[in-house]
Structure 1
Amino acid sequence: MRQLPSCLLLLPVLPEELILEILFRVPVRFLKRFMCVCKSWKTLISSSQFEKEHFRTSFSVTSMTHQRLVTLTNDDWKSITTCSMRSLFEDLLVPPKTVSLRVEPRWVYIIGSCNGLLCLSDDFGLFKLRNPFTGSASKRSPTIDVMWRTISQYGFGYDQVNDKYKVLITSNGETKVHTFGTNYWTTIQTFPSALPPECWDKVGQFVSGALNWLVLERDRIISFDLEKETYGEVLLPHNMDGDLPCNHVLHVLNNCLCLCYFTDIHCVVWLMKKYGIQESWTKMMLIPHYKIPVRNNNASFRVRPLCISENGVVLLETNENQLVMYDTKNGEVYYPSKIFGTYRVDIHIYHESYAPELAPKVRKGCRSNGCKNPPVGKFGYCDFHRSKSQARQRKRAAKRRKLEDTAHPAAIE
C-alpha cells in the first residue's frame, strides 16, 4: 500500500463542529462545489437544517457579501436579473456583472423577497416562489378569481413558528391568505380601516414575522401577524408632527422598519431599531432636497432607502426608477452606472440562500433526446429506449469479457 507523504500525516483533523462553523460562513456560490468533496458533505449541505443555519449565520453578517439587487427585466426576454451589492458599492464607474434567470412571460410582478426566496405573481391571481440562486421553484398557488388591478394591498412573508411562507392579498374589500404547500386560500378578517385604498400603502413590508402597511391619512402603521393571522398597530415616531411631512414611504432597511418622507427642505429617514417599540424610532438622516434630483417638478416624488453600507453610504431608489447613492458623512451624492435594462419592475433586496428544492423535479419525457414518451423505471428511459439501452449494455459487457479473455488466456495444461 502506498503511504501518504509525511507532510500530510502531520495535518490536523478538524473537529466536526468546527467544520460546520466554517461551512456556515462559506458564500452560497461555493456550496455546490463543496458537495462534491464527499457523500457526507453532500448529505449535510442538502439538508434543510443546514440551509436554515447557513442563512441565519450569513444574515447576521453586517457586510454585503450575501446581498444582491434583484428585479424582473424584459429587454430581450422575461428574466429575474440580479447583481452583487458589494460590487455596486466598490466601483461606481463600472457596472456590476448581472446574472439572469429566464422565467415564463406570465410572471410580471415581484411581490417580495424573504429568506432568499422571491414571490412572483401574474396578472390573474397566480403566485409562485422562486430561488434565483438554485433556480428551484414551488408549485403555483391555486387560482383565485381576482385581477391584479383590483388588488389594493398585498404582502409576502415567513411564519417562523410553523415554518411556512404566506402571501396576503386584499381585493374588492375581501382579504385572503395562501400558505405555500397547501392548495387553498383562506378568507380572513378584512383590514381594520374604512379608508379608501388610495390612502394605504399597497405593498406590506415584512419585518419580525409581520407585514406592515402605512395608513397615509391617519399616520399609523397597520401590522398583520403571519403566525396568528391577526392585525395590530405600530406607532409612528413621537416628534415628527413638527416636520409637516408629505410623500411618506414605508420600507425595510437593515431588517428594520424604515420611514421616509419629505419636508419643506429635507428628505427625512427614520429607523425603528426594535420592532413594535415606539421609543426605538431614531432619526437616521436628513438629506437636503437639492441633493436628490426631481424630474419635471414631480409633486408625488418619493424615495425608498434600499441599503446602507458599513461606511454610511445609502442606496436610494426614486419612484422615477433612478438609483442614487448618498454619503451620510460628507453629504456627497453619487449616481451608479446603469445596471438593469429599461424595462423593469421595482428593485428588491435579495439575500442569497442555498435553500433546498422547493418542489421535486419530475421528468416529463424520456432521457433520450427528442423522445417525448413517458419514462419508465428509475433511469428515466421509455420502454423503447430502455430496451435499446439494455442492448448496448449487453454489447459492452460482451466486448469487455472478450478483452479480459485476450489479456489473461487460460493456462494450457
Structure 2
Amino acid sequence: MKTSKADRISHHLPEEIIEEILYRLPVKSLLRFKCVSQSWRSLISTKQFVETHLQHSKKIESLTDKRIISTCKNSSKSSPGRLKACSLSSLLTEPVTRAVSFDFFPLNSSRDIVIVGSCNGLISVLVDVCRFFLLNPSTREFKELPDFFTGTTCPKNLGSISGYGFGFDESSCDYKVYAVFTMTTPYDRDVGFPSKSVARVYSLKADSWGVNVFFEDRWTIGQGKFVSGKLHWINYYKTKLKWEIVCFDLTNESFGTVERPSCMEGCYIPRLGVFKGCLCMSFDCALTVGSDILIWNKYGAEDSWSELLSISYLSVFGNSSFTRMFNRVTPLFVLPSGEILFTSGSDFLIYNKKDGCVKQRHTVDFDCDRFREAEAYTESLVSLVPDNIAFF
C-alpha cells in the first residue's frame, strides 16, 4: 500500500513536533495541507488545533496572517457597496497595495455595507440596512443570519438598525451579534429623538435572535467595540451636554457603564476603539490641534487609563490640509518595530513613539471614491458551524 509523504514524515517525527510546526503556519497553507492526508485533515479540523493555532497567531509578531478589511463605495448612487481586504505585510512593503473584493458570496449591496465587528478571524457585516452576515474570509465560509424582524412588530420602512456589535461569549462558547432597530415617526426624525427601540441578540449556537433585551434609556449608536466579553459605545446626552461609556455584557445580556478618563477637559466627544485587546479612546483637542489616544490597560481597574500617543495634525497633514485634520484617528496595529499603524480618513500612517514622528506609508488601492472604515484582523480557522466552535 502506497503511503503519502505526510505519513512518511509522521513516521520520523513525533506527533507533538508535527503539531508544533503546523501551529506556526498561516491559514492558507493549513487549508492546502488538509488535502495531504486524512490524519492531517483530522488534526487541523479539531477544535483544539483551531484554538491553539489562533492563540499562537495572536501572540507572534509575524504579519503573515494579519489583514486589513474595509468598506467602500463609489459616489454613484447605483454603485454597490463593497467589502475589501489586503494583507498587512503588503501594505507595509509594497509601493501600492491593491485591495481585493470578497468574491465567495453575494455581498454587493445597493447601499453601504457596514462592518458590525470582527472577532477571532470572523467578520460580521450589515448589508442593505437589515441583512446580517457572518463570514470567515480565510476559509471562505459565510452565513446569512435569520431575519431580525421575525417575531417583532417593527415595520422595516419606519426605521433603521442604529446600533450593532459582534463578539464572543466565553461562558457559553458562543458568537453573538447585538443589534438595535430604532423606529421613528416623521416628527421624531425632525427633532432627532427615537420613538421606540428594539434591541435583540443573535446566537450562532441557537441560530436565532433572542427576545428584546432590557434596553433602559440608552442610545447605542454605531459599532460597539468588543473587549473583555462586552460591547462598548459612547453615549452622549444632548440635553445635558455630557457623555459616558456604556457597555453591554454578552453573557448576561445587560447594560452597564465603565470608568471614563478624568483628563478630558477641552476635548470633543471621543471615539472608542480596540488596540492590542484593550479598550482605547481617541479624541480631538482644540488647544493642541491634534488627537490624543488613551488606552485602558487593565479592564475593570480604577485609574487604568494612560496615554498611548498624541498626534499633531499639523505634523501629519501640514498647514494646507486643515479641512482634513478632523478625520477619525484610529490605531490599528503595533508593528514588530514598535511603531503604530493607524488610519486617518482613508490614509494609513505610522507613528514612531520614540521620536514622535508621523509618516505616511504606502497607498492602498480600494478602487472606490468613498472609503468608510477599516479594521485589522487575524486570519483563523474558526468555523461558522456551531458544533465546531472552539473555546477561547
Aligning the two structures, in what range does the TM-score lie when normalised by the shorter sequence? 0.7 to 0.9
Question: Which residue is 2:229 aligned to?
Answer: 209
Question: Which residue is 2:292 aligned to?
Answer: 268
Question: Which residue is 2:116 aligned to?
Answer: 111
Question: Which residue is 2:279 aligned to?
Answer: 257
Structure 1: which amino acid aligns with 2:246?
Answer: I
Structure 2: which amino acid aligns with 1:272?
Answer: W
Determine the C-alpha separation between the residues in 2 that align with 1:101 and 1:108.
12
Determine the C-alpha separation between the residues in 2 that align with 1:227 and 1:214.
21
Normalising to structure 2: TM-score of the pair?
Answer: 0.78
Question: Which residue is 2:163 aligned to?
Answer: 153
| Count of paired positions | 344
Point out where structure 1 has 5 or more consecutive residues left out of the alignment.
3-8, 361-413
Structure 1: which amino acid aligns with 2:336?
Answer: E
Question: Which residue is 2:383 aligned to?
Answer: 356
1:163 pairs with 2:173: yes
8 Å CA contact 1:35–1:45 kept in 2: the answer is yes
1:328 pairs with 2:353: yes
Structure 2: which amino acid aligns with 1:55?
Answer: L
Structure 2: which amino acid aligns with 1:129?
Answer: L
8 Å CA contact 2:116–2:125 kept in 1: the answer is yes
8 Å CA contact 1:124–1:147 kept in 2: the answer is no
8 Å CA contact 1:46–1:356 kept in 2: the answer is no
Structure 1: which amino acid aligns with 2:225?
Answer: Q
Determine the C-alpha separation between the residues in 2 that align with 1:10 and 1:235.
54
Distance 1:299 1:10, change over 3 A: closer
1:135 pairs, out of 118, 121, 140, with: 140
Once the 2 structures are TM-superposed, how far is the Cα of residue 79 of structure 1 from its aligned partner? 4.8
Question: Which residue is 1:55 aligned to?
Answer: 54
1:71 pairs with 2:70: yes
Determine the C-alpha separation between the residues in 1 that align with 2:58 and 2:9.
36
8 Å CA contact 2:243–2:269 kept in 1: the answer is no
Once the 2 structures are TM-superposed, how far is the Cα of residue 139 of structure 1 from its aligned partner? 3.9
Once the 2 structures are TM-superposed, how far is the Cα of residue 267 of structure 1 from its aligned partner? 1.5
Determine the C-alpha separation between the residues in 2 that align with 1:109 and 1:228.
26
Distance 1:130 1:356, change over 3 A: same
Structure 2: which amino acid aligns with 1:259?
Answer: M
Distance 1:116 1:100, change over 3 A: same
Structure 2: which amino acid aligns with 1:161?
Answer: S
Determine the C-alpha separation between the residues in 2 that align with 1:147 and 1:46.
43
Structure 2: which amino acid aligns with 1:57?
Answer: H
1:81 pairs, out of 81, 84, 92, with: 84
CA offsets, 1:256-307, max 9 Å, x none? Answer: 1111112211311111121222322221111123123385536854321222
**Backbone CA RMSD of aligned residues:** 3.0
Structure 1: which amino acid aligns with 2:346?
Answer: N
1:309 pairs, out of 335, 346, 352, with: 335
Once the 2 structures are TM-superposed, how far is the Cα of residue 209 of structure 1 from its aligned partner? 1.1
Describe the SS at the equivalent of 1:291.
helix
Point out where structure 2 has 5 or more consecutive residues left out of the alignment.
3-7, 183-196, 388-392
Distance 1:148 1:214, change over 3 A: farther
8 Å CA contact 1:312–1:329 kept in 2: the answer is no
Once the 2 structures are TM-superposed, how far is the Cα of residue 31 of structure 1 from its aligned partner? 0.3
Q: Which has the higher strand share?
A: 2
Distance 1:259 1:11, change over 3 A: closer
The aligned runs of 1:233-248 (5 Å cut-off) are 233-238=257-262, 240-241=263-264, 243-248=265-270
Distance 1:35 1:301, change over 3 A: closer
Distance 1:18 1:170, change over 3 A: same
Identity among equivalent positions (%) equals: 28
Describe the SS at the equivalent of 1:49.
helix
Determine the C-alpha separation between the residues in 2 that align with 1:159 and 1:40.
31
The aligned runs of 1:186-201 (5 Å cut-off) are 186-193=211-218, 197=219, 201=221
Determine the C-alpha separation between the residues in 1 that align with 2:350 and 2:87.
15
The aligned runs of 1:338-353 (5 Å cut-off) are 338-342=364-368, 343-353=370-380
Distance 1:301 1:148, change over 3 A: farther
Question: Which residue is 2:202 aligned to?
Answer: 178
Distance 1:19 1:299, change over 3 A: closer
The aligned runs of 1:368-387 (5 Å cut-off) are none
Distance 1:311 1:150, change over 3 A: same
Describe the SS at the equivalent of 2:31.
helix
Determine the C-alpha separation between the residues in 1 that align with 2:31 and 2:313.
47
Determine the C-alpha separation between the residues in 1 that align with 2:58 and 2:252.
25
Larger Rg: 1
Once the 2 structures are TM-superposed, how far is the Cα of residue 222 of structure 1 from its aligned partner? 1.0
